[in-house]
Amino acid sequence: MKTDSNRKIKNWEARLHQPIATVAPKKVRHLQEIVRWASRNETKLTVLGGSHSGHCLWRNAVAIDMSAFKQIHVKETSYEDSLVFVEAGCTSGEIVRKTMAEGLTVPLGTRPSVGAGLWLQGGIGHLTRLYRLTCDSIVGVVLVSVDSGKIIFAGDVDKELLPPDAVRAENEDELLWAVKGAGTNFGIVVSVVFRAYPAPTYKVKHTVDTSETREDTVRRLEHLNDVVAERLGYHHSAEAYLFWSFGSMRFGVTFLEVSPTTASPPLPTIFGPQPQIRIRQLHLSPPTSPNVVDGIGIFEKTYMRLREMQDGHFSNETCSFKRCVFLENFDDPCTKQKLSEAFEKAPTPLSYLHLVLGGGKMGEVTAHTTSFGCRKWTFACTITAVWWAYENGTVVMQNAIDWVYKVATDLSSLNACVGVYSADLGPDPRDLPLAKKAFGPNLPRLAQLKKRMDPNNILAFACPLDAA
């Protein structure tokens, strides 16, 4: 087992934290040894997967680098019932490439380098309206208990892929329920099993226009709610960006049409000669010609879209900080005003608001079906502050982070807010009030399960469940 891993950490915030050590286990028994050592020595643990989390490294904790756990196995029985076994060191891009080779996919996020934290805490992406959240596709899990150090599993896991000495969890149903949305809190996840779906192609189109006044922004938000959210079918999605570019406020909308590659009935199109949605109804310029891309190409489209918003600069030149709230609709004038005001008061020219359309099949899942809990949202609103890397540690950085917390807190207090995304939340005290809205009605049940499965709070730096 290797110690003091030299891997590059993507999150700037995590890089500021100096852990006691970083260990890189090669086998599951190494994970067991680490957990038992941490329990004996009353030491906290963090998990290093895709390294996008601000709390994957933490002071006075030992970080577990999962990069050796890279196996992916596809068990294809039919397009309606295929499974994918994925170890916790894999990234979204690796999963998509492997499953695409089999004509399949798993609904993941929008960035190929993101790891298991995405799967276990929700997972919002381009396929959310059609195939639901990433965590909704989890049908099995293997983890090392941070209480006993034993290997336990729940759900549908092929016996040939189970580690030696793995035992079925006594609270199997509750554990599998909890992993689907709050899965970073209850043990060191070794692997998950996903239900797979036919790999789609994406038809992508976007339009951008200038918002001259606050009234322009409010009007476009109103039409985004009335024209887009109310009319798109399961195979269609949309996202909007409010950002600054060369000194001007900009409002952009990207439309996606998802087409499974297997034989299926013709889909109604939003890009045909008689589209369901006419762009002029959004008071925006004519959109670009549609591009057709696959599951890898859609990652690249997202990356180029972010670069465009940052005036062509690369992400390694900048740092960012974000929080995400779930909004039911924009019917309340106060919601539109708050969003527009936040946009105008962005702390840096590179900061932005990102609105992702929810609903569809994701919204049909009841709040109690999985631990994720927050289902009745029309838009996921991500508030992202961006600053130059050389401004780390300056008042610019602090003002940017303060802006994110202020906007997230203001929006979370509105009647239109129906939840907060747990994936970004951690030990910062300002996250505690946001965490109270992170799991809908499921927070008290999760808090009780946390006490039973992690009685010594070994995983202290995941999304706080003691907010209950």
In order along its 468 residues, the chain shows pLDDT tens digits of 555 557 889 999 999 999 999 999 999 999 999 999 999 999 999 999 999 999 999 999 999 999 999 999 998 765 567 999 999 999 999 999 999 999 999 999 888 999 999 999 999 999 999 999 999 999 999 999 999 999 999 999 999 999 999 999 999 999 999 999 999 999 999 999 999 999 999 999 888 888 888 888 888 898 888 878 878 889 999 999 999 888 888 999 999 999 876 444 444 444 444 344 555 555 566 666 778 888 888 877 776 666 666 555 556 789 999 999 999 988 888 999 999 999 999 999 999 999 999 999 999 999 999 999 999 999 999 999 999 999 999 999 999 999 999 999 999 999 999 999 999 999 999 999 999 999 999 999 999 999 999 999 999 999 999 855
The model's pTM is 0.92
CA distance 144 to 132: 27
Q: Does one domain contain both 345 and 387? A: yes
State the maximum Cα–Cα separation within the chain, in Å, rounded to a whole number: 67
According to the model, what pLDDT value does residue 287 have? 64
Q: Does one domain contain both 314 and 357? A: yes
Q: Does one domain contain both 212 and 177? A: no
CA distance 82 to 99: 10
Q: Which domain covers residue 129, as residue numbers?
A: 72-198
118 lies in some domain: yes
Share of the chain above pLDDT 90, in %: 72
Q: Does one domain contain both 211 and 194? A: no
Tally of structural domains, the chain: 3
CATH number at residue 35: 3.30.43
According to the model, what pLDDT value does residue 265 have? 42
CATH number at residue 156: 3.30.465.10
Q: Does one domain contain both 150 and 103? A: yes
Tens of pLDDT, residues 279-299: 555 556 666 677 888 888 887
User: Looking at 20, 37, 65, which one is the last position of a domain?
Assistant: 65
Q: Does one domain contain both 160 and 290? A: no
Q: Does one domain contain both 204 and 192? A: no
Q: What is the C-alpha radius of gyration for the chain, rounded to an integer number of angstroms? A: 22
In 180-285, DSSP assigns E strands to 187-198, 200-210, 236-245, 248-260
Tens of pLDDT, residues 153-198: 999 999 999 999 999 999 999 999 999 999 999 999 999 999 999 9
19 lies in some domain: yes
According to the model, what pLDDT value does residue 5 have? 57
The pLDDT mean for the chain works out to 89
According to the model, what pLDDT value does residue 303 have? 64
User: Looking at 21, 38, 65, which one is the last position of a domain?
Assistant: 65
Q: Does one domain contain both 222 and 177? A: no
3-class secondary-structure state, position 73: strand
User: Looking at 65, 93, 118, which one is the last position of a domain?
Assistant: 65
Q: Does one domain contain both 174 and 98? A: yes
452 lies in some domain: no
445 lies in some domain: no
Please state the φ and ψ torsions of residue 151, each to the nearest 5 degrees.
Answer: -90, 120
Contact 427, 55 (CB under 8 A): yes
438 lies in some domain: no
The closest alpha carbon to 36, from 171, 145, 163, belongs to 145
Cα-Cα-Cα-Cα torsion 191, 195, 201, 202, nearest 10 degrees, comes to -80
The β-bridge partners of 313 are: none
454 lies in some domain: no
Burial of 5 (0-12, 13-18, 19+ CB in 10 A): middle
Q: Does one domain contain both 374 and 236? A: yes
